[in-house]
Structure 1
Amino acid sequence: MSKDWALREQGSHDWRMLPVALTMWAASLGSHSAFAWWSEREADALPSDGIGWERLLPGGMACLVLILVVLLAHHLRMRWPGVLAVCIAAACVGSMTTIAADTIAWHDPAMTQARQSSVQSAITATVTAPVVASDQRGYDCQVDVRFSVIVIEGTDRGSVAKARVYADDPYCARMHRGAAYRLAGTLQQARYGRMPLWLLVDGSQPLAQVRDPPLHYALISRMQQEFFMVTEQLPDQGRVLVPGLTMGVLGQDYVGTDSQSMPIHATYANILEDRFRKSGIMHLMAVSGGHFVLLAGLVRRLGRWLLMDRRLTAVMIASMYVLLAAAMFPGDSVTRALIMGMMGAASHAMGRRSQALSALCWTVVGVLVVSPGMSTSYGFALSSAAVLGIVLFAGRLSRVLGHVLPHSLAEMMAMTIAAQLFTLPIQVLMEPELPLLSVPANLLVAPFVGLSTITGLMSLALAWCMPWLAGVFAWVSSWGTLVMERVAMWLGSNEIATLPWKDGVVGAALILLAELGIGALLVLVTRQVKRVRQPEAGLPGMRFGSVWRVRLTLWIEESRRLLSGDSS
């Protein structure tokens, strides 16, 4: 007699929202692609977010989502009418919000002006991110802004377009996050990146501040500046890696410090960044959920030690999350981690265990409804895919690897492998190569990541008030990053560190097929081993087999007795 499907529901394995989140993501991508195709026919120009994703990607994602929905529904024995109805509703919502956002961006006065030609434009804009080093030649720095006013033919027109401003040295130190400026430059469509517009400012253009930054932005900027001044006392590897591990921006990319110290050697910094990428540990240089997990763990331990009420502990955790997100460099992975962290804090306040998979799915759905452009973000996709892999497979892989490896080593390896299961196809879309040594690289640096991150955050928090103590914590953090640098230089320089791969959607599909094939093979082998190890028919209980730890202990004990001559 079959049980009712509702009775089988288990919060820790709640997969019901996963097909919905995947469907909405695919619908948003497909709508972006359809709108871009329509806009090309209408105006022979891309409107938009400069998605840079190939035309086949949304269709391929849609097919993949359909397959996943079918497999999930079959595995979980879901009711088909309900699953299809909710997925269709999610697809409609995702498509409508995406088309609405692209339509608004398409008709924005700044976008209309940029589509006509690269013209000199005067704009008023608010800085939305810290100033960093420029990623193109001819300019010293870049900063992301949001337009509020653009002057067209002598008339002020309202605008909400987002743009990236490229400027020279005189402007770099004068622009601050949260402040509004009136500036002029060449407005044009972006050639790459997610920002739809570029504003190229040369040294002859005026720059006037029309609004001071809010107090909290001013305090955060001051704290970040003092932190970078503290890290300038470190060796080059520490100056590069400690800010990257702590705040998500490498030391050579930061612009705005008033220190007159020697600049970081550009060749060394470029080589180090390339070696981190090839060794598969570049994710350490971006703020992710690991920062939030470490901070939440410390607050929970403090709450248990002080016997605090769980609701007060949850408020402290949520407050720490907000402060941490504000102090970090803005990024899509930070947004994902903050939202999921706030859900976890709410669950803790209610006395319930947080459900990572359900929280991830609801985060994806909410973010794509509010900001449809996030569906084209590689950072958001990588962060979400890594969490999905860890939630679904880290525990299972850890139990399997625990039969042949120590528990701590099995957990670290399982975490790395699980995270890469879903991130590898996205990495291939970004760069057509596979990091073959990422697992050993992550295992070697894993014991030092937590300590370096915590000491780096403590240095950031104390830099504005106690620079000497912040310097001590930064020095401790640099010892951990030194290990990471050595591992990256060693493994990243190996000829087998990376494997060239087919690029684009075809390469991503090949990775998925390879992973599915390997997974199917492992399942078949596991079932065969279980069949061989089953007890004889009619005998009660399960077959007992010693693990390698027991055999090694017995061997050492017998060897000791043999050498000592003890026959007892």
Structure 2
Amino acid sequence: MAGTARRRPAGGGHVGLRGLPARWIDGESGHRDLRMLPVALCLWAAALAARAALPPDGAPGLRGFAAATCVAACTVMLAALHGVSAWLRHVRAGRARPALRCASCLLMCAAAALTGALSTVVALTHEAADPAMRLSHDGPSRATVDFRARAPALRSSSRAAACTVRASTRAVQAAGVRTPSAVDVQALLPEALCMRIVQGGEYRMAGTLARAPWDARTLQLTVARRDTGSALALRPPAPWRRAVHAMQRRFFDVVEGLSDQGRVLVPGLTLGVLGQDALGEGEPVDEVYARRLEEGSRRAGIIHLMAVSGGHYALLVAAATALCSWALMPRWAVACARAAAVAALTAVLVPSESITRAVVMHLFALGYVLLGRRSQTAPLLLWTAIVSIVARPARAADLGFALSCAAVLGIALASGPLAAALRRWLPRTMADALATTLGAQLLTSPLQLLMQPRIALWAVPANLLVAPWMDAATVCGLVAYTVSWCMPRVGFAFAWCASLGTKSVEIAADVFGAEDGSATLAWPSDTVGALRMAAAEILVLLIAVLLRAMARLRDGMPRRRAFASPAPIVRSRLWWRRTAAMLVRLRWRPRTARATGRRRPHGRVGAGSRPPRHRASGGGEGSGP
């Protein structure tokens, strides 16, 4: 009976799978686990489609439309389940597993698309029914708004106000009637009120409610100078919020002693707020220099360094993990330390959608720590995107959130193969830095065209110039931010060290971000332009895959194997190792009389010297007559 037993296919193969699918599954890695990628893309696309299809100011019967969408979603899911089950019953036994994988992927994509569309419709319905949105439906309206500040006050680029604050409404009063409200609002305040705003506090101010000119779904509250006296603080922020506000003010005061590039770049690298956008009591930053530096960084392709993202959290989490490993703590203690580090850093940073992505991703990674497994970047990122968009559908249309997700996904997927290929030609450190830069640029380039209709031609060398100094500058900036409130001189010393690292950003902006047009290439800035860029990148990727396949095929031929030669960097390493080994093993002979052209004198032989040799036959040197 043993002879009739079925054998498992060689190489760990899977029953019912042959050829390329079997090799794909056998080589599956956690960092390249993309099973949730179609699901996340379908959910993201459905949320964007629902947001584009519905009017920004609501429509009659929108709640009925939301209920109809929910019923339609349930109906489609039931029909899909019935159809897939009927399909699997008629599939042959040899192809059951591929069919099951395909069916499960289709079902998950359908469920994700319906979930994204339904959550967006519900969110837009709630937003359109809000009293603040209805009040500004027909145009600007006068109202008294109670709001809660969700971020610190920053300098406004509009001449109508001195600063701007991101907030969420609590109540709206118009015509003597006060109604509850819960929508996001952007408050434009005069200079007298800017320094009174603290993140987390609740305030009541009278002003003009209107829709933003660039987005009909964004609500603005403009407070005039004559309304300054009627502003009230309803509820003070929490004590730890006041402490964070004091730390930020002291940090900005310390940074004012740096040079112009330090005043602009050190707060941007540390908190994600450029120096010209921060509020302070001292002399403001030179506006012309700050704008020139910012535009030069944008043309050079290094403007992303001014936004706080996962780099800060990666450094702090790595430090907490190393400390726990040194103390031999258990896994639950390591998870608690990492969670405390993430929470502490989130409390002191300026909120943004990229920070939200990093926080959710690191909190999900705690599960891997508790299970004792290595974290997997791609699944973590995909689940983070899914949960974040379902919780807040407006993130699907946020470019900051999209750029953060695209950069992390590109680094997770492309940096490994690119680094392995570049190490054949470059040193390891340079190859890893270049692979990370190319991986991030690969998926973010189409999205960057939606903000700027130009392609940064020198983005790769500019990032290579800046990257080696950013980690040290970030650490120095965070230390300066932490100690400036109690030790200003120590904080200034660390801030000055951080400015030495950010000096590379200024150099890269001047060298690779020239204003003569040689640093950028014009490109359409609409959706068609982004799709063209994505198609061009896919074409280049396919050509690279084809060339790699041809190279593997060539190496597999017996005729070509004899002519195969290692890469230049490998040849250089071999040459250096062999040369160094040869120099170490080389034995140097002492200089002899024949080599110097002198005759050794005959006579008494000193101690430790060899006596002269005499030949037995005549005619030679030293022979007798």
Q: Determine the C-alpha separation between the residues in 2 that align with 1:363 and 1:509.
A: 25
- Rounded Cα–Cα distance in structure 1 between residues aligned with 2:526 and 2:196: 40
| Long gaps (5+) in structure 2 | 1-8, 62-97, 590-625
Q: Which residue of 2 aligns with 1:548?
A: 568
Q: 1:420 aligns with which of 441, 455, 459?
A: 441
Out of 118, 131, 137, which is 1:109 matched to? 131
Instruction: Output the CA distance in 1 between the equivalents of 2:133 and 2:391.
Output: 21
Match of 1:92 in 2: 114
Q: Does 1:390 align with 2:414?
A: no
Report which structure shows greater RCO (CA 8 Å, sep ≥6).
1
Structure 1 match to 2:621: none
Q: Residue 93 of structure 1 aligns to which amino acid in structure 2?
A: T
Between 1:439-448 and 1:76-85, the stretch displaced more is 76-85
- Of the three residues 121, 131, 137, the one matched with 2:159 is 137
1:235 aligns with 2:259: yes
Question: Residue deviations 1:433-455, cap 9 Å, x none?
Answer: 11111100000011100000011
Kindly indicate whether residue 452 of structure 2 is the aligned counterpart of residue 431 of structure 1.
Answer: yes
Q: C-alpha displacement at 1:111, in angstroms?
A: 0.3
CA distance in 2, matches of 1:77, 1:522: 31
Written as runs of structure 1 = structure 2, the 5 A alignment for 1:49-448 is 79-192=101-214, 196-205=218-227, 206-255=230-279, 257=280, 259=281, 261-448=282-469
Deviates more, 1:229-238 or 1:543-552: 543-552
SS of structure 1 residue aligned to 2:168: strand
* Cα contact 1:535–1:543 (8 A) shared by 2: no
- Asked if 2 retains the 8 angstrom alpha-carbon contact of 1:164 and 1:195, the reply is no
% identical aligned pairs: 36
| Aligned residue number for residue 51 of structure 1 | none
Task: Give the superposed CA RMSD.
Answer: 2.6
Tell me, what secondary structure is at the counterpart of 1:480? helix
Equivalent position to 1:534, from 549, 556, 577: 556
Quickly say closer, same or farther: Cα 1:81–1:268, change in 2 above 3 A: same
Residues 193 and 308 (structure 1 numbering): CA distance in 2 closer, same or farther, change over 3 Å? farther
CA distance in 2, matches of 1:169, 1:262: 15
Q: Deviations over 1:132-162 (max 9, x none)?
A: 0112123211101111111122111111021
Deviation at 1:171, TM superposition (A): 1.1
Aligned mate of 2:502, from 481, 491, 500: 481
Corresponding residue for residue 57 of structure 1: none
Moved over 6 A (4+): 40-43, 556-562, 565-568
Q: Residues 215 and 513 (structure 1 numbering): CA distance in 2 closer, same or farther, change over 3 Å?
A: same
**How far 1:550 moved relative to its partner?**
4.6
What's the offset of the Cα at 1:103?
0.5
Report 1:491-530 matches (<5 A): 491-493=512-514, 495-530=517-552
Question: Contact 2:300–2:509 (CA<8 Å) still a contact in 1?
Answer: yes
1:64 matched to which residue of 2?
Answer: none
Q: Which amino acid aligns with 2:277?
A: D
Q: Is the 8 A contact 1:244 1:250 kept in 2?
A: yes
Deviations along 1:12-43, whole A, 9 cap, x unmatched?
A: 33211111111100010011011127x58769
Cα distance in 1 for residues equivalent to 2:224 and 2:291: 26
For 1:522 and 1:538, locate their aligned partners in 2 and report how far apart those are by CA, in whole Å.
Answer: 21
CA contact (8 A) 1:163 1:195 kept: no
Corresponding position of 2:74: none
What do residues 271-297 of structure 1 show as CA deviations (whole Å, max 9, x unaligned)?
A: 011111110001100001111111111
Report the TM-score, using the length of structure 1 for normalisation.
0.88
Distance 2:213 2:474 in 1: 35
2:297–2:513 CA contact under 8 A, matched in 1: yes
Separation of aligned partners in 1, 2:378 and 2:244? 32
The worse-fitting range, judged by mean Cα deviation, of 433-442 and 13-22 is: 13-22
What secondary structure, in the 3-state scheme, does the structure 1 residue paired with 2:556 have? coil
Distance in 1 (alpha carbons) for counterparts of 2:205 and 2:334: 46
> Which residue of structure 1 aligns with residue 30 of structure 2?
11
Structure 2 SS opposite 1:209 = strand
The count of residues paired between Structure 1 and Structure 2 equals 528
CA contact (8 A) 1:124 1:150 kept: yes
- Structure 1 residue ranges without an equivalent (≥5): 44-75
Contact 2:169 2:183 in 1 (8 A): yes
When residues 3 and 226 of structure 1 are mapped into structure 2, their CA distance, relative to the original with a 3 A threshold, is same
Q: Structure 1 counterpart of 2:243, which letter? A: L
CA contact (8 A) 1:149 1:158 kept: yes
8 Å contact from structure 2 (residues 58, 128) kept in 1: no
| Equivalent position amino acid for 2:571 in 1 | R
Offset, 1:307:
2.3
Moved more, 355-364 or 185-194: 185-194
Q: Which amino acid aligns with 1:480?
A: G
Using the size of structure 2 for normalisation, the TM-score is 0.80
